[in-house]
Amino acid sequence: MSELTADVNWIAVIVGFVAAYGFGWIWYGPLFGKPWSSALGLKIPDKLPVLAMATQAVGTFLLAWLAGVTAVSNHLATFILAVLMVVALMKANAFYSGRPMRALTIEIGYVIAMAVIVVAAQAIF
């Protein structure tokens, strides 16, 4: 269990988490908010979806932490493999549920953007 915390660059994890989570505001706001919600037939909510945002924060932190763990052991390929696994599972879920491909493409794009951001934080810090 200590391999999950030993020598992890927590500054890079926190910076990557904050940057990737914050980027979500831009991604699902001015960049792709309208096309994403339109593809799903959603109306922009009047109040913030707190539970969804909290769950996203947990997932984003775990992604940043995974980047930190793989950075310590120089296993970037493991991180990339994990991200590709998530993307494949998202796509499979979309096929089963009939989720519109336009919405899925925006969602997958954000997962990949988050991965790039948290890896960049590890490289910079």
Q: What is the pLDDT of residues 57-102, one digit of tens each?
A: 999 999 999 999 999 999 999 999 999 999 999 999 999 999 999 9
SS3 content of the chain, % helix, strand, coil (to 5): 80, 0, 20
Q: How high is the pLDDT of residue 44?
A: 75
The residue ranking higher by pLDDT, 89 or 42, is 89
Report residue 24's pLDDT band, with 50, 70 and 90 as the boundaries: very high
Q: What's the pTM value of the predicted model, to 2 decimals?
A: 0.93
Non-local CB neighbours of 122 within 8 Å, separated by 6+ positions:
9, 12, 16, 67, 68, 71
DSSP H or E stretch at residue 18: helix 10-26
Q: How high is the pLDDT of residue 45?
A: 75
Instruction: Copy the structure tokens of residue 68.
Output: 């930190």
